[in-house]
Structure 1
Amino acid sequence: MIEYADALQRMLACATALPVETVPLEQAAGRVLAREVSSPQCLPPFDNSAMDGFALRCDGAPMAAGTELEVQGWQAAGDAASEGGQGAWEIMTGARMPDGLDSVIPVEQVRIVAAIDGRPQRIELLKDVTPGQHVRLRGQDVRTGEVLLEAGSTLALNACTLLHATGVGQVEVRAQPRVAVIATGKELVSDAAQALEVGQIRDSNRPYLVGRLQAAGAAVVWQGVVGDDVDAFNAALQSALDAGAQLVLSTGAVSQGRYDFIPEALRARGATIHFHKVAIRPGKPLLFARLPDGPLYFGLPGNPVSAAVGQRFFVEPVLRRLLGMAAEATLQLPLRADVRKPPGLRFHARARVELGADGQLSARVLAGQESFRLMSMLQANAWVVLDGDDEMARAGTPVQVQGWGHRDPVRLAAMEVS
């Protein structure tokens, strides 16, 4: 049995960043940038009005209420450049400022002195105008050449929106890690609607892992369920490899029981087992191996939370390395209450980050930490990691807090006031 830090180093030593590929922006959502992206243009690309109203020339000096001006023209969003002259221009929100004009007064702050066919011809200012007011300047948001996103950034919706707005039509991203999931156990039933017979359970691990892997940035290329049978397992593993899997996750059959056949099945295929059993809870029997020709194999225990811990704290760091991402940052927050922990083991606890009446954040480890319990996973919004030889972590002790997934920050919207 090895320590988690040792296990992590052994895994990361087997992983290098995947190749770079260029994809259209509309296909890049959720992908990870391989190169930084700089803006090819300014944003806004031209001076424009922030209000419906009238564009004026202040020339750096305030314009007093009561001033009357002739209306020289009209400018709507999408109109070409115009020469502004000395008067006022009726202008719509987002319209390009006529050349030479530098300020906008909202339509509510003028009186129409004269109009023809509904078009203002002369206006009176009802309020003073400050030079530059209500004008969005060219490049005020983004400058040409400014770095928008660093390599290793995830292209979430806001990032893709900014790239689209600045004219970036394609991006260089890391290839997605290709992953397969094999659930083992003759007791497993895949169809959630199927009635269970005596001794059967539903294979909740498989859909959970598939969803978490996709959220983590991987492409799931194969998934399936096999019984406690070496031949069926080997056939499933070969199907996963034939589908191009670079990482294979299995659940169950890695402990020391009669039907825990996976370690020997892997050795028979020529796999190199880098470790089997880690000083953690839950999930101690976890296995990590490298298959011939390079695919990485994670043998996760079968209990649901043990499998979740294996995916979160073993598979996801490797995915980050494959995606060219930096090591994950963690939070340090005080414990809300005392927590009993297994001495000498790294304990991964389902927890809630909460906002107290004093306005301070803290982490509350949930009741029901047994590895078969699913309800606490529903209630949790974070993981708390407790390490060391002590049997008790005391209230107020700063502890490591991580989001449910490596790309899932602790969600403040889910915090409770207590």
Structure 2
Amino acid sequence: MIDYEAALAAILRQCRQPQSQSVPLAQALSAVLAENLRSGVCLPPFDNAAMDGFALDTQGGRAEAGSEFAVAGVQVAGDGEVRATAGAWEITTGARIPQGLDAVAPSEQVQATASGSDGHPQRIRLVADVAAGSNIRRRGEDLAAGAEIMRAGQLLQAPQVMLLAALGVSHANVARRPRVAIIVSGRELVGDPAQALGQGQIRDSNGPFLHARLLAAGADVVYRGMVADDPAEFLSAVEQAIADGAEMLVSSGAVSRGRHDFIPEALRSRDAEIGFHKVNIRPGKPLLFARLPTGQLCFGLPGNPVSAAVGLRFFVEPALRAMLGMAPERPLRLPLATPCRKRPGIRSHLHAKIVCDASGRLSASVLPQQESFRMMPMLAADAWVVLPEPASSVGQDEWVDVYGLGHLLPLQVTAGAQDAGGEIPDGR
């Protein structure tokens, strides 16, 4: 049986290098950037007014309260370059500063002493001092031309898309999403929600869960199938997944040591190289990793819901991360809210909440009911706590590793949650 770090290293050695593709910016949200980017222009592209008011010339110093100016023109956002030779110019937020002027007096710091028939001021008086440079956004103040703005491996979210749009970028070079197939196994499973359950049957829940989580983790799900406990049927699904372009296969069920746990031998019959089978973790110990001769990575996850979730989060998602060109994930370190006991010598993955107490202090609160068959506690969790192999117990306020529910999903914080603590069940 292999430990977690060795298992993860074995997986990452087999991951393909990131592959890139150009996509329209409108389709780049939640994609991963595949190249370092530098700005080709300045932002702002020209000096402009930070607020509505009057642009004027302080001659590089200060215009004092009581100073009066004739209004020589009006400059609104979208107007082109203009030179001011005298007086003040009425100006709107974002409008280009007329050449020869070096400050903007806000409207609320100006009195109109004369107005035209159209109501626009013709002459103004300052009611407060205005220093040179006041209320002007300088060219390149936000971003200078040539400056590095983003690095390969960065997730493109709304702020990144906004900046690229401001720079006039029409397409982004992003990492191609890894193509993944899902195969769930079990003769007891029913995939059609409209089909009545027979004796001993249950509904497939791992398939929808894996599909949703893989999409959220940056994968492109190209095939999803369900097979009975039959090696030939499983291998037929594998062939179909490969034909559909899958470069990673994620199965659930049939990987333990029981008589009907056929997937390890089925993969061997197809000349798969077994990287490891069984990892020193709870839950999810029977997890299997293999590589087909045609290059596809195979992850055999246990069938229990939480075991499958752990296998996906801590083995499949790091592989996806590598194939997307992202840096290895680093956990958050937080104190434990209440003590926990666990089996020594095994790494434990526990449902948890990130709790903020009345003083604003964050801690990790381990949830009760950690058995691997339970789905309801997964709804309450917003994080994973990982307890290291050697420990038999972790005391209150001891620091632990905390991970989000998915490597691309943000951690959430709950105010004032309770923690049952206690002993962690030895679920598979």
Structure 2 length normalisation: TM-score? Answer: 0.94
Q: After the TM superposition, which residues 23-34 of structure 1 pair with which residues of structure 2 at under 5 Å, given as runs?
A: 23-34=23-34
Tell me the distance in 2 between the aligned counterparts of 1:41 and 1:153.
21
CA gap of 1:100–1:365, structure 2 versus 1, over 3 A, is same
Shift of 1:215: 1.4
Work out whether residues 402 and 409 of structure 1, in 8 Å CA contact, stay in contact via their aligned partners in 2. no
Q: Which residue of 2 aligns with 1:399?
A: 400
Deviations 1:282-304 (A, max 9, x none): 00000000012100000000111
Tell me the distance in 2 between the aligned counterparts of 1:392 and 1:192.
42
Q: Which residue of 1 aligns with 2:22?
A: 22
Matched residue SS, 1:124: strand
Work out whether residues 357 and 415 of structure 2, in 8 Å CA contact, stay in contact via their aligned partners in 1. no
Q: Which residue of 2 aligns with 1:267?
A: 268
Tell me the distance in 2 between the aligned counterparts of 1:195 and 1:103.
75
Matched residue SS, 1:74: strand
CA gap of 1:417–1:83, structure 2 versus 1, over 3 A, is farther
Deviations 1:165-200 (A, max 9, x none): 122222222221110111111222223455433322
1:270 counterpart letter in structure 2:
D
Q: Which residue of 2 aligns with 1:10?
A: 10
Q: After the TM superposition, which residues 218-237 of structure 1 pair with which residues of structure 2 at under 5 Å, given as runs?
A: 218-237=219-238
Q: Which residue of 2 aligns with 1:95?
A: 95
Any unmatched runs of 5+ in structure 1?
none
Tell me the distance in 1 between the aligned counterparts of 2:253 and 2:401.
28
CA gap of 1:195–1:101, structure 2 versus 1, over 3 A, is farther
Number of positions where the alignment pairs a residue of Structure 1 with one of Structure 2: 417
Q: Which residue of 2 aligns with 1:345?
A: 346
Shift of 1:415: 4.8
Tell me the distance in 2 between the aligned counterparts of 1:181 and 1:268.
20
Tell me the distance in 1 between the aligned counterparts of 2:166 and 2:227.
48
Tell me the distance in 1 between the aligned counterparts of 2:415 and 2:264.
42
Q: Which residue of 2 aligns with 1:52?
A: 52
Shift of 1:257: 1.8
Q: After the TM superposition, which residues 374-393 of structure 1 pair with which residues of structure 2 at under 5 Å, given as runs?
A: 374-393=375-394
Q: Which residue of 1 aligns with 2:204?
A: 203
Matched residue SS, 1:238: helix
Deviations 1:22-67 (A, max 9, x none): 2222222222122111111111111111111111112332212221
Matched residue SS, 2:237: helix
Q: 2:91 matched to 1:74?
A: no
Q: Which residue of 1 aligns with 2:183?
A: 182
CA gap of 1:279–1:87, structure 2 versus 1, over 3 A, is same
Tell me the distance in 2 between the aligned counterparts of 1:415 and 1:318.
33
Alpha-carbon RMSD: 1.6
2:176 counterpart letter in structure 1:
A
Tell me the distance in 2 between the aligned counterparts of 1:304 and 1:158.
35
Deviations 1:89-123 (A, max 9, x none): 11111111111212112222222222222222111
Matched residue SS, 1:83: coil
Following superposition, which runs of at least 4 residues in structure 1 exceed 3 angstroms of deviation?
191-198, 414-418
Matched residue SS, 1:410: coil
2:157 counterpart letter in structure 1:
A
Shift of 1:260: 1.0
